[in-house]
Amino acid sequence: MPAAPSSLPPPDAAAKKAVRALSAPQKALRKLGLVRDMDLALHLPLRYEDETHITRLRDAREGDEVQIEGVVRHQEVAAGGRRQLLVTLDDGSGTCLLRFFNFYPSLMKQMAVGARLRVRGQLRSGLAGPVMLHPAVRAAGAPLPERLTPVYPATAALAQAYLRKAVQSGLARADASGQLGETVPPDLAAGMFAGLKGAAGVHPQSPPPTLREALFFLHQPPPDAPLAALQERVHPAWLRLKAEELLAQQLSQWRARQERAALAAPALHVRPDGLHEKLLAALPFALTAAQRRVSEEIARDLARPQPMHRLLQGDVGAGKTVVAALAACVAMDSGWQCALMAPTEILASQHFDKLTQWLAPLLQARGQRVAWLTGSQKKKERAAALQAIESGEAALVVGTHAVIQQQVNFARLGLAVIDEQHRFGVAQRLALRQKLAGQEPHLLMMSATPIPRTLAMSCYADLDVSTLDELPPGRTPVLTKLIASHRRGEVIERLRQQLRRGAQAYWVCPLIEESEALDLQSATQTHAELAAALPGLNVGLLHSRMPAADKKAVMDAFASGQMAALVSTTVIEVGVDVPNASLMVIEHAERFGLSQLHQLRGRVGRGSAASACVLLYEVPEGGRLGEVARERLKAMLETHDGFEIARRDLALRGPGEFLGERQSGAALLRFADLQQDEPLIEWARQAAPQMLARYPALAGQHVQRWLGARMDYLKA
């Protein structure tokens, strides 16, 4: 061997070079994640076009998508008005006008008078008979395909014809090399459709098609295939693929669980006469039954020498913070540190204040303290905090995600609490775990956006979930009102009366600055306007572009009651807790998401005073509110239940909001639908542990087939 190994380029450079050598469509395939033959085989059609037969114009109806074959009788470029190419096609049973607004000389040549053409498109009625707008055109005479033509999800850089060929040959290669074999053992596959009571064309007892059968059916359906069942993805072939996908998801999450179970974590216990006991005694309220129950669930996990991964979900105002504080006490009682992270500085600083108030006196006796860590901190202050974290003097560290950045070295981190976890990205969570490699802390994630059941069952199967399903006593439900924006003046007048009586209010605006495109009321402008309309009252302004110190000053003034009204952008959306505030006005409520509206409304109704939430909405000029916007506002009027809101939100806009960044690492579910496919989710949940226990090799193959390189993200 003449060449020394060191003279070779590193492997990733070689890989980069190989990618550079790819053609543009090959690169486009890669972008879609279509690398292996199996990836191509699993790239399923969105819909189909029927090119298997020719329709005679006489038999075609208006609105039909048809393919006709005939001779060009006439061609002209009409110039009056918009330039267009008009071609008359005669198929012997009738004529049809083909109309093109975009055309090149080559197209005109192809459609010269006398040419025989096969065209396909939707038939519409025109002044002088049937018309087709921009039909697909090719020469007549080629043999007709025997199968429906699939249309695949593509990108602008990827022509359908190229993609179609790539998929068909990928499928053929995967088949030839034996990659389409069954991974799901027959005894588990047998029950796949058992929960599907009478779904279209599916008999629960009938054996599902094999993966190979299902794939060939979906990529090459016969002309008589039931198009509606395919379109709605309820055909057995679709159900088979969805079940396979859901099984892969369950398997990978079960595996993540098993891997975690093999890791070591400190076993944390409550100590008699420790912080946990002292905090409970010092709290100005008694825990609700739900708080006691979830605290016990958490304590049981913490006592195990394996890392906890638990999600604590509870509606806004359910009292998650104190549960987190109690968990932190368990860690500190056992001589370990706890880190508590929040997505915004406002929320983090509020947690810091509260936890300091509760715990600082107790920690001081032990020579320890609560440390504050954030990105906007002064260098010196940060250095001192880092020092205290490293020495262990800081038993509790509260901050934004700055806490989990590289330079932070915990002496003994035993528990990490992530508040409003859906706001944190996968990357940040990965960073947290890498940072602590070798020494796994317990992880408690908290969320005020309840995860709908089916989503919890599928995408969060690797987590344990605790639910706070009870609000602290004495809360009165928030009265919600929907008011058109032209009555804004009346709302301000009512607000003035309430504030004069000592109430406090939030006024939420969607954007910070005037944006011509969106024409939203800016917070700054609204602030000026309200300040003028409410003389003698202290009206503050809070938005995300203010320096952290200013934000804190404003929040403090509002929390202490010095400020009557707070005009704000959605920076107050998560977590902010000012129990005295009892009024919430949301401007342009029609522009907010449902969960977001629910979160915002949750800022009031936290104390004993009767609270109200006014949703100001604006109907576009000359139009009406969109369907989805109306559904959202209706839901806000109809329910206060976070789970019901979550369920409706999932129906309105899919799982994106719930998953947060969780979805971006891996398109977790491409085919299965959380609403529609619950019975298949149930099947996959039961099949996964059995498959891991009895057929571990097949389980590995199955996950590899479906998820390939995306595995890493699922563990985050």
State the CB neighbour count (10 A cutoff) for residue 16: 12
Site string for ligand ADP, 524-563 (x = CB under 6 A): ----------------------------------------
Give CA–CA dist 395/383, Å, rounded: 16
> What residues numbered 71-100 form the site for ligand ADP, per CB under 6 A?
none
Stretch that binds Mg ion, among 229-237, 460-468, 511-519, 572-580 (CB under 5 A): 572-580
- Residue 128 φ then ψ, to 5°: -115, 50
Q: Which position among 577, 661, 673, 678 is part of the footprint of ligand ADP (CB under 6 A)?
A: 577
Contact between 314 and ligand ADP by CB under 6 A: the answer reads yes
Q: Which residues contact 361 (CB under 8 A, 6 or more apart)?
A: none
Q: Whats the size of the chain, residue-wise?
A: 716
Residue (of 92, 713, 213, 226) closest to 430 by Cα position = 713
With CB under 5 to 8 Å by kind, the binding choice for 288 among Mg ion, ligand ADP, none is ligand ADP
Binding residues for ligand ADP, total number by CB under 6 A: 18
At its nearest, how many Å lie between ligand ADP and the CB of residue 323? Answer: 8
344: helix, strand or coil: coil
At its nearest, how many Å lie between Mg ion and the CB of residue 342? Answer: 8
DSSP 162: H
Q: Scan for tokens 């344990």, then name that residue.
A: 464
At its nearest, how many Å lie between ligand ADP and the CB of residue 397? Answer: 19
Please identify, using beta-carbon distances, which residue of 111 and 340 lies nearer to ligand ADP. Answer: 340
At its nearest, how many Å lie between Mg ion and the CB of residue 324? Answer: 9
Please identify, using beta-carbon distances, which residue of 236 and 314 lies nearer to ligand ADP. Answer: 314
Site string for ligand ADP, 411-450 (x = CB under 6 A): -------------------------------------x--
Contact between 288 and ligand ADP by CB under 6 A: the answer reads yes
Please identify, using beta-carbon distances, which residue of 149 and 344 lies nearer to Mg ion. Answer: 344
Please identify, using beta-carbon distances, which residue of 182 and 353 lies nearer to ligand ADP. Answer: 353
Residue (of 712, 12, 36) closest to 426 by Cα position = 712
Site string for ligand ADP, 153-192 (x = CB under 6 A): ----------------------------------------
Two tokens at 114? Answer: 């006398």
Stretch that binds Mg ion, among 190-198, 268-276, 571-579, 639-647 (CB under 5 A): 571-579
Please identify, using beta-carbon distances, which residue of 527 and 606 lies nearer to ligand ADP. Answer: 606
Stretch that binds ligand ADP, among 163-171, 217-225, 318-326, 559-567 (CB under 6 A): 318-326
CA 572 from chain centre, in angstroms, equals 21
At its nearest, how many Å lie between ligand ADP and the CB of residue 588? Answer: 24
Annotate 36-74 with DSSP letters as a single string.
SHHHHHT---SEEE--S-PPPGGG--TT-EEEEEEEEEE
- Element spanning 120, H or E: strand 116-126
DSSP 511: B
- Element spanning 176, H or E: helix 160-176
Stretch that binds ligand ADP, among 284-292, 387-395, 481-489, 686-694 (CB under 6 A): 284-292
Residue (of 700, 668, 690) closest to 189 by Cα position = 690
- What does the CA dihedral 179, 185, 191, 193 come to, rounded to 10 degrees? 0
Contact between 472 and ligand ADP by CB under 6 A: the answer reads yes
649 in Cβ contact with 657 (< 8 Å): yes
With CB under 5 to 8 Å by kind, the binding choice for 314 among Mg ion, ligand ADP, none is ligand ADP
507 in Cβ contact with 565 (< 8 Å): yes
CA 10 from chain centre, in angstroms, equals 37
Residue (of 129, 142, 164) closest to 49 by Cα position = 164
Contact between 579 and ligand ADP by CB under 6 A: the answer reads yes
Please identify, using beta-carbon distances, which residue of 70 and 575 lies nearer to Mg ion. Answer: 575
Give CA–CA dist 521/508, Å, rounded: 10
Q: Which position among 401, 422, 606, 662 is part of the footprint of ligand ADP (CB under 6 A)?
A: 606
138: helix, strand or coil: strand
Contact between 322 and ligand ADP by CB under 6 A: the answer reads yes
531 in Cβ contact with 556 (< 8 Å): no
At its nearest, how many Å lie between ligand ADP and the CB of residue 453? Answer: 20
Q: Which position among 130, 209, 319, 441 is part of the footprint of ligand ADP (CB under 6 A)?
A: 319
CA 332 from chain centre, in angstroms, equals 34
Pairing of the two strands 65-78 and 84-90: antiparallel
Contact between 317 and ligand ADP by CB under 6 A: the answer reads yes
Give CA–CA dist 108/87, Å, rounded: 9
What b-and-e string marks burial along 238-254, b requiring 16 or more CB atoms within 10 Å of the CB?
bbbbbbbbbbbbbbbbb
> What residues numbered 453-472 form the site for Mg ion, per CB under 5 A?
none
At its nearest, how many Å lie between ligand ADP and the CB of residue 536? Answer: 29
Stretch that binds ligand ADP, among 125-133, 256-264, 287-295, 451-459 (CB under 6 A): 287-295
Q: Which residues contact 651 (CB under 8 A, 6 or more apart)?
A: 675
Please identify, using beta-carbon distances, which residue of 315 and 333 lies nearer to ligand ADP. Answer: 315
CA 52 from chain centre, in angstroms, equals 40
Q: Is the dihedral of CA 197, 200, 203, 206 positive or negative?
A: negative
At its nearest, how many Å lie between ligand ADP and the CB of residue 668? Answer: 27
Stretch that binds ligand ADP, among 153-161, 281-289, 552-560, 627-635 (CB under 6 A): 281-289
Q: Which position among 320, 422, 429, 551 is part of the footprint of ligand ADP (CB under 6 A)?
A: 320
Contact between 319 and Mg ion by CB under 5 A: the answer reads no
Q: Which residues contact 59 (CB under 8 A, 6 or more apart)?
A: 93
At its nearest, how many Å lie between Mg ion and the CB of residue 232? Answer: 40
Please identify, using beta-carbon distances, which residue of 307 and 575 lies nearer to ligand ADP. Answer: 575
Q: Which position among 121, 170, 575, 665 is part of the footprint of Mg ion (CB under 5 A)?
A: 575
Q: Which residues contact 139 (CB under 8 A, 6 or more apart)?
A: 110, 115, 116, 117, 118
Stretch that binds ligand ADP, among 114-122, 311-319, 357-365, 503-511 (CB under 6 A): 311-319
Contact set with ligand ADP (CB under 6 A):
285, 287-288, 291, 314, 316-322, 448, 472, 575, 577, 579, 606
Contact set with Mg ion (CB under 5 A):
575
